[in-house]
Amino acid sequence: MEAMEELAAKVWRLSRDRLLIHLRFLDVALSELEFRAQSGIGQVLCDMSTPRAVIVFYDPQVLLRLYKTNPNNVTRLHLHILLHCIFGHSYKYNKVEQELWNIAADMAVENAALGLQISGLETEHDRERREILEQWRKRAGALTADRIYRKLKEDRLKSEELLTLGSLFCRDVHDGWKPAETLEITEAQWKKISERIRAELKSFSGDKSNDKSLLQNLEEAVKETYDYGDFLRKFSVSGEEMQINDDEFDYVYYTYGLSLYGNLPLVEPLEYKDVNKIKEFVVAIDTSGSCRGSVVQAFLNKTYHILKSSENFFRKVNIHILQCDSKVRRDTKITSDEEFERFMREGQLEGFGSTDFRPVFDYVDKAVESGEFENLKGLIYFTDGYGVFPARKPPHGYDTAFVFLEDNYEKPPIPPWAIKLVLPAEELEEE
């Protein structure tokens, strides 16, 4: 048995060396994997909850059988496991339907591995895998785990189809993917490794097609995520609102007076309290032909549900919803929750021409100068991003955020003075 384990360990070292010859940028990531033989388990699985490294448990007999069939099997398995780590697949395991996520994650890493097109990675059934992945590319766009997963949820394939996909793309077992809150190797650590790999790929590989799938998945792994609610609340301002200040009001004396004198409290309740809420800002909606009405409606619905909560919204507000393509088509002024609700119920979209962002900023700047806004904190521009940007930052000090819906396409660069926010499609579907 010792001889078998020793031989299996040697096979892992050989596969690592083969990967390093062709993929030097994986050196740091490869060093984070530790392999431990465990006879009788009949499989290969990763334990992501250990303090120092990712522990890969494997059955030596199974591994040697794979190697005997084709040495490339082990190299490919090695890369498969590593790509799961650098793409951060385990960190979403407690937020998804695990059966579908397992398939999506396996398809994503196999697609990236096949896209590298280097010697030593070819295995049985690769031709079939490529054919299926090409079909899915047409359906889901860029083959990241997130996109494949959303498509799997949407299509609701039959169990036999799921079984076929699972058996074709699976190389390891994901039972060791613990919920994110239990992991001791942090997501941030793997993000740093992934960012380093991405930087090296972009620096030394250029725009080679065989790196494309790997880069797409790395972009997915390292992208910053935001809570849209938290983002909106950055535009809040301090103000007074008529309500009891629980921090200063003493209910003991108040209720004592009521009990002693009937309806005469000893201490009057304080009527005003300083709060931080959203009072005024601008929502610009790109109604050009490339922005679908249903998507715009979903974005507005998301925004409305966040704002209407009492902790975010002053009773009296000054919010302008601008509909625009190459010009400002309509300005809807919202002064209360009721007006916002009416707009959501009855408002119609206008425009659908080409996109030019500059008229919106000219319009808002004139509104600030005319006194329409007292303390405008921000402008949110929901768009596909394809248009003409202003050459300079708006002069009146408000922040600008360009909000994109996550889809299958690369987003154009935005001006350095603006904030970029990408909303996942599932976030809009929540409301």
Residues 6+ apart with CB under 8 A from 350: 287, 323, 329, 330
Largest Cα–Cα separation, the chain: 93
Question: In this predicted structure, which of 48-52, 114-118, 146-150, 415-419 has the lowest mean pLDDT?
Answer: 48-52
- In whole angstroms, give the CA distance from residue 106 to residue 120: 19
Rounded Cα distance between 2 and 10, Å, is 12
Among 109, 92, 90, 136, CA closest to 214: 109
Q: Whole-angstrom Cα distance, residue 25 to residue 118? A: 14
CB-side neighbour CA atoms (13 Å) of 428: 18
Of 168, 195, 222, which residue sits at a domain end? Answer: 222
Q: Is pLDDT above 50 for 239?
A: no
Q: How confident is the model at residue 74 (pLDDT cuts 50, 70, 90)?
A: very high
From the centroid of its chain, how far is CA 98? 18
Q: What is the pLDDT of residues 405-414, one digit of tens each?
A: 765 455 677 8
Q: Percentage of residues in the chain with pLDDT exceeding 70?
A: 70
Domain boundary among 177, 200, 222: 222
Distance of alpha carbon 75 from alpha carbon 97, whole angstroms? 29
Tell me which residue of 13, 92, 19 sits closest to 56, measured CA to CA. Answer: 13
Same domain as 241, residue 214: no
What number of other Cβ atoms are within 10 A of residue 374's Cβ? 10
pLDDT of residue 222: 58
Same domain, 110 and 248: no
Residue that finishes a domain, picked among 222, 253, 274: 222
Which residue, among 77, 76, 101, 99, has the nearest Cα to 88 in the 3D structure? 101
278 and 389 share one domain: yes
Instruction: Tally Cβ neighbours within 10 Å of residue 159.
Output: 8
- pLDDT tens track for 272-318: 454 455 577 888 988 875 556 677 777 888 777 777 664 545 567 78
- Residue 430's pLDDT is 53
Domain count, the chain: 2
- Are residues 255 and 330 located together in one domain of the fold? yes
Q: Give the residue, 402 or 428, on which the prediction is more confident.
A: 402
Domain with 25, as residue range(s), is: 2-222
Confidence of residue 366 (pLDDT cuts 50, 70, 90): very high
Same domain, residue pair 284 and 206: no
Give every CB contact of residue 184 below 8 A, 6+ residues apart in sequence.
49, 50, 51
pLDDT of the residue at 260: 58
Token pair, residue 366, equals 């004139």
Tell me, yes or no, whether 180 and 299 share the same domain.
no
- Shared domain for 108 and 195, answered yes or no, is yes
- The CATH number of the domain holding residue 250 is 3.40.50.410
- Same domain, yes or no, for 168 and 79? yes
91-118: average pLDDT:
88
What's the chain's Rg over C-alpha atoms? Answer: 28
Whether 132 and 269 share a structural domain: no
Q: What is the average per-residue pLDDT within 1-20?
A: 89
How many Å apart are CA 423 and CA 404, to the nearest integer? 6
Question: How is residue 208 written in tokens?
Answer: 């080679």
Give residue 254's pLDDT. Answer: 56
- What lies within 8 Å, CB to CB, of 306 at 6+ separation is 228, 229, 232, 312
**Same domain flag for 233 and 218:** no
Specify the amino acid at residue 296: V
233 and 174, same structural domain?
A: no
Which pLDDT band, with edges at 50, 70 and 90, does 359 fall under?
very high
* Mean per-residue pLDDT of the chain: 78
Residue 173 pLDDT more than 60? Answer: yes
Strand partners, 320: 282, 333
Contact call for residues 280 and 375 (beta carbons, < 8 A): yes
18 and 161 share one domain:
yes
